[in-house]
Every structure is written in structure tokens, then in C-alpha cells.
Structure 1
Amino acid sequence: MRRTRGVRLRMLAATMAIVALGLTACGGGDAATTAGTAEVDPAGVQWATERTNAALQRPTTIPLTAPIGAPVPAGKRIAYIDCGAASCTSYIPVIRDAVSSFGWTLESVSTDGTPGSVKNAWASILRQNFDGIMYSATERSVIDNELREAASRGIPVAALNVIDPPTDGITFVAGDAAAAQSFGEAAAAYTIAESGGTARAVSFNIPGYPIIGPITKAFTESTAQHCPGCEVEVVDIPVASLGKDAADRITSYLRSHPDVEFVFLTAGALAPGLPAALRSVGITGKRLLTPSSDPVVMDMITKGELEATVSFDSFGYFYAMTDALARSFAGVPQLGPVEIQNWVIRKDTVVSTTERFPFVADMREQYARLWATT
């Protein structure tokens, strides 16, 4: 046990609480608690309110300002390797929209997310000698040899939602650890502001996805720093539970912790099926948040099943990744890390429930001006 500014941290097995309540069938995961001192910090609430009010505003500008300044060749063949989750597959129309701006074509390669499946996908696209590659949510350790092979051939590679730096075969990273931290901080600010500095919250973490770690860490640390009157517990959900018993595990936890009001789902994949599972055992009044721009999540928000999404701009990320490939093909330097503004979306600001949408309404026009060579 250690104490920091009056905040108590302790580790416990979440399954113990579940066993005590006769709920072992659905329990699981380790949990860490950040317990508040029940003292409201006005400065912390002010910080949270100001940050949340800003995040509730729809972004109006793209993050890039430097033109490419050189001709970008058309006719390039781009491959996209998904991560095996439905959310990764839903990016395909977004990527096709982005790469078509330069007259490129896209071929997507599906995986089931396992290392063997991912490596087979990489072997296939390297055999076909694509001009550029995009991928999402795969650890470098799984594909290090493939990345180095791509680099040796001069094939630019853009990655999404990874914590690996853009070196040794990775040309550009969008949605890096810093971006992930911003989701956690924004979710913490929303929770603190909406609770008036007295939140009882839980964050459901997915250790199997490294990019989720910074989200969870930022959520708990920001809450501890700005809200001594808040209490946050972290519960791990195995990757294997996604699409299977994740909703049951979450429901079991919430059933045994009735005082928890704010529920932070660190990935949109945790949301489907959860509202129905909660209703089935009579649990109501939980305020569910998640960092996702998936149409399924947007539909759940409009139905009142989720309160809000601390969302990331999938169009913004993939247009930035396309920009990186274009700069590589044009032989001009990369821009480095790109900070893409988050948007906290609630029921009254959902744009579409059937497809992903750009956060910046005239994003395509702004990129067209940025990419113009004359």
C-alpha cells in the first residue's frame, strides 16, 4: 500500500468480491482502487468543467497545416491489415475515402487478431509488393521482421493505435500513447465535472491491448490528481472475453458494487450487449462512457444506453496517415506527431448512427487545400 496526496491505492482480486456474493460464474480480473478522501476540491472541479466544456465543442480545423509542396504520384496500391475486431473492420470505408483523394486503391486484409493470423496477412501483402501499408492495434513484437522487410523495400508504413515509435519500418503513428492518454484525461474530466467532484467510478481495462494501458492510467491518475473526493477502481477484462462474456463480467462487478455510478469502458468493444445485461438483472442509473467513434456506439448513445463517448476522429487519424504516405511517396519529410482534437459526443451531437463521420465538417475541403500542389 502507498499513499499519495491523501489518495489510497490498493490491489485486490475482483473475483473475491464476486465469490462473496455468489457470482463466481461471471466474475474475473484484478482490480486496483483509488479511494478518495470525500473532500471536494473546487479547483479540480473547475479544471474538469472547463476541459469538458471545451471538449463538448465540435472541432473545426484539421491538425495539419504544412502543405506537401510536391507532386504526389497516383496509382499507388495501399494495403490495410485490420486487428481482428469489428471496430478495426469498420475503418475500411474511412481509409478508402482518404486514399482515393490521391487516386490510390485500397485492399483490406482481415485477421482474427492472433499473432499467427496477423503474420500471415503481412506475408501475403509483402508477397504482393504493395506500395504502402496501414495497420492497426498490433504490437511491434509480433511483426518486427515484417516491418524491417517493408523498410528494406522502401515501403512506407502507417500505424494506428500502437505505442511503438515511428522507427525501423514504421513511418508514421496515429493514435499513439499520448493520444490514448488524452482519452483517459478527457473521461476523467467529464466524470469529475458531472459528479461535482464526488464520483464513484470504475474503469474496465483490457490488458491484452497495449494501447489501452495509457487510457486507463491517465483516467485514474487524472482523477486522483484533481478529485480527492472521487473513488476509482480498475477491473481487467481479458481480450478473450470480448464478444463473449465481457458484458456478464461487467454486470457482475456492478451488481456487487451498487454505489458505482460512472462506468468507463476503455474500448468501444466492451459496450455491445452491456445495457441489455444490466437490464436483465435490474441495474439502472449507471452512466456509461467509452472512447469510440464506432457507429454501434453512436446508436447506443442516441438510444440512451450510453451517456457519451470521449471520441477519437477516425477520419482525422486515417487522413493524417494518408498524408504521411503521400509525403513519403513525394519524397518530403514527415511532420512528426500529430495531435488530433477529441470530441465528447452526447445524444444531441451524434451526427450518424450508420457510418463513421469526420469530426471537422469540411475536413475534405481543408485537406484538399493542404494537398494542392499548385
Structure 2
Amino acid sequence: MHTPTPTRMRAAAIVAAGALLLTACSSAGAPAETSAASEGTSEAVEAANAFLAPWTGGAKAGLLIDEPLSQPIAEGTRVVYLDVGTPVSAVMWENLQAPAELLGLKLERVQTGRDAQSINTAMNTVVELAPDGVINITLDPVFFESQIKQLDAAGIPIASGSVMNTTEFGLPEAFNGPDWMKLNGEALGAAAVARSGGATELVFYNVPEFPFSEYELAGAQERIAALSPEATVRIVDIPIAELGSTAADRIVSDLQANPDTGYFMASVDEVQIGLPQKLELAGIDVDGIAMWTAPPNYEQISTGQQDATLGVDLSLMMWTVLDQLLREINGQEYTWPDVETRAAALTQIIDSENVPADPVAGYRAIEGYQEQFAENWLVN
């Protein structure tokens, strides 16, 4: 999907015609404007690439908390995983299996659903299970505030990933909270500028039910405004219920209605699963980038159907969230590093040049991190 779009071809034809006309004319004003615009685009792309250095291999990755546990975790410790039912959530669950086996944990999976009633029912079940700890990925605590109080009273900690308001509900701060999401949103914005060659009509596909989506959007808008003030970012909401079903259709309809769009961004890469085929059928060639990559996204990149993704090492993420939970279970103090270190430690721009050979394993940020965790977890 890297052949010139009809829009880009029309733009190229206009530029070429303009160049011929300028050659035939004696006016000196227009060429200066054309040169200035070209220079501005080049500067924006150059600045975008410079900003992206930490997300293109320029950052040294390491464990976010690299110190031993205060004491070993007892075999048979029970941990509940809250599954919100998305494809990425299923990947997260699978990524918990290896560290759980290493530690001898007893993992239990509770399907939360997506509406308030089903979440409330699921969280009542969690309270009844009385586990030693809970892992929550993306579920907004506003939906289970009463159960948080019950779990806290029972001394059962909750560690979170991709949850933006943990501290508001007395929960430990997630390593990838609002600042982390916003900075990675800036990376999405910079990538849109760089990979589009400085396109000025962009769109962001937002999933409002995911609290982190608005932070990614804010970061993308802020970085694009700083890099390319003349660029516009259209915002299109995609309901969470459409992920895995009609999300791609909504994107196709939007791009058909806005044929001058130069590049798109999305808060979750699930919206791109199956999208290339539908874009091709519709005669649309617009590239894009998103975050929270699933295996099919890596497959699409490897076959040239998808331009890029902001890959997250989902395995390392789950080991990191579990590591936090273990420290909470032990009542052990810890400190996250600064947001710049955290933001690029688990994420990287992935395209056809560095796409993982194994789409299921996906992007891996640190070689041998399992052994490092095992040492910190006092596993013999």
C-alpha cells in the first residue's frame, strides 16, 4: 500500500504543471513561496524524525524496576486477571502464562464484559474469590469503585496497565499512565508527519471507551502542532463495540468522504486488522499507524499491506505489571523511572524494515528479560 494515491497523483500533476508555468513566466514571487513551503515540509519531517529517535532504536531499554523482591512469592499465590474481551486483552492473558509458571502462581481469568452491569457482576465475583492480587488492563476503576474498597479492606492489591486514573481511586500508579500515553501519542503524531512526508491533512481514529485513547490523541495533536502548524487533525470516534467487526468499514467510509487525507493515526491497532483489503476494494491508498499491535498487524506489515505500528512489547508489559503486583503483595516500596525512560522502554516504531519474524511473539524490547526478572524474583 505504498503506490501513489489518486490524490497524491493529482497533487503531483498540479505541482508539475505549476513548475512549467513558472518556467514560462517572468514573475519571481510564486517560486519563492513554493520553495518556502517545500523547505517548511522538509524541516517538519526532519524534526519529526529527530523526535522519534528514542522510538527507532535510539533508547537503551531496561527493566523499569531493577531490584530484587524483599522476599520470595509463595507458590500457589492466587492472581486474578480481568479480561475486557478485546483481542489484545487475550494476548495479555497468554503473556502472563510464562511468568506465572515460573513463580508457581495460580492464575484465574475473569471476563468483565464492557457494560456497567456485567463489570459490576464480574467484580463481585473477584471479591468472592478473595485472591492474593488482581491485574487490571484498561478497565476504568470508575466502574468498580465499591469493589476496590472491599478488596483494599481485605488487603488485596490491584496492579494496572493502561489505566489512566488509578491514583484517583487509591490504586498504585500504573507505569503507563497518562504521561506515558501522552508521550507515546506524540510519537504517533511525529510518525504521521515523518512517514507521510509532511502531509497536512491527517486523521486520528479515537476509541472513546478506552480512557487512554484521549491521552494518545492529545499527545498526537500537540506534537503535530509543534512540528507542522499548518496541519489539521480530524478526529473520528470508533465505538469499542466495532473493534473486530465494523471498525474498518467506518474508516473506509471516512476516507471516502475525505479524499485529501494524507495519513491516519489510531489509538489501537485493532482498527487496522482487515483494513488493507477493504481499502484496496474501495480504491483508497492511505497509510496509517496505531498502537497496541496484535499479531495480525505484524502479519500485515510483513506482507506490505500495513505501513507501520507503534509496537509495544506486550510480553514485557505483562511481566512488568506482574512485577509491580508482586511488590504490592510484599508491601515493598518501589519507584518508576521518569516518563521519558518509561515511554520508549517498551515501545518502538515497527515497519517492514524491522517487523518481527514471529507475529505472535511480536516486538521484543529486551533480550533475556525473563532471566532478569527471575533473578529479581528470587527464583532459584
**TM-score range normalised by the length of the shorter chain:** 0.7 to 0.9
Shift of 1:80: 0.1
Q: Tell me, yes or no, if the aligned pair for 2:182 and 2:219 is still in contact at 8 Å.
A: yes
- Which amino acid in structure 2 is aligned with residue 57 of structure 1? G
What's 2:52 paired with? 52
Shift of 1:287: 1.2
Q: Deviations over 1:110-134 (max 9, x none)?
A: 2332222222221112111111100
Shift of 1:350: 2.1
Cα distance between partner residues in 2 of 1:176 and 1:65 = 16
CA-based RMSD of the aligned residues comes to 2.4
Shift of 1:356: 4.3
Three-state SS of the structure 2 residue aligned to 1:347 is coil
1:241-252, aligned counterparts within 5 Å? 241-252=242-253
Cα distance between partner residues in 1 of 2:246 and 2:65 = 45
Cα distance between partner residues in 2 of 1:193 and 1:151 = 46
Cα distance between partner residues in 2 of 1:162 and 1:128 = 23
Q: Deviations over 1:79-122 (max 9, x none)?
A: 10111212111211111223333221211112332222222221
- Which amino acid in structure 2 is aligned with residue 63 of structure 1? L
Shift of 1:60: 5.2
Q: 1:247 to 1:198 in 2, by over 3 A?
A: closer
Q: 1:69 to 1:210 in 2, by over 3 A?
A: closer
What's 2:227 paired with? 226
- Which amino acid in structure 1 is aligned with residue 261 of structure 2? V
Cα distance between partner residues in 2 of 1:205 and 1:87 = 16
Q: Return the TM-score normalized by structure 1.
A: 0.82
Q: Tell me, yes or no, if the aligned pair for 2:189 and 2:220 is still in contact at 8 Å.
A: yes
Residues matched between the structures, number: 337
Of the two, which has the highest radius of gyration? 2
Shift of 1:217: 1.1
Cα distance between partner residues in 2 of 1:69 and 1:127 = 28
Cα distance between partner residues in 1 of 2:254 and 2:203 = 9
Q: Tell me, yes or no, if the aligned pair for 1:197 and 1:229 is still in contact at 8 Å.
A: no
Shift of 1:59: 6.2
1:352-371, aligned counterparts within 5 Å? 352-356=358-362, 358-371=364-377
Q: 1:366 to 1:214 in 2, by over 3 A?
A: same
Shift of 1:149: 0.9
What's 1:345 paired with? 350
Cα distance between partner residues in 2 of 1:105 and 1:360 = 26
Three-state SS of the structure 2 residue aligned to 1:343 is strand
Q: List runs of 5+ in structure 2 lacking aligned partners.
A: 1-35
Shift of 1:233: 1.4
Q: Tell me, yes or no, if the aligned pair for 1:315 and 1:359 is still in contact at 8 Å.
A: no
Q: List runs of 5+ in structure 1 lacking aligned partners.
A: 1-36
What's 2:24 paired with? none
Q: Tell me, yes or no, if the aligned pair for 1:81 and 1:134 is still in contact at 8 Å.
A: yes
Cα distance between partner residues in 2 of 1:62 and 1:74 = 26
- Which amino acid in structure 1 is aligned with residue 124 of structure 2? A
Three-state SS of the structure 1 residue aligned to 2:261 is coil
What's 1:195 paired with? 196
Q: 1:359 to 1:159 in 2, by over 3 A?
A: same
More helix by share: 2
Q: Return the TM-score normalized by structure 2.
A: 0.81
Q: Tell me, yes or no, if the aligned pair for 2:81 and 2:136 is still in contact at 8 Å.
A: yes
What's 1:26 paired with? none
More strand by share: 1
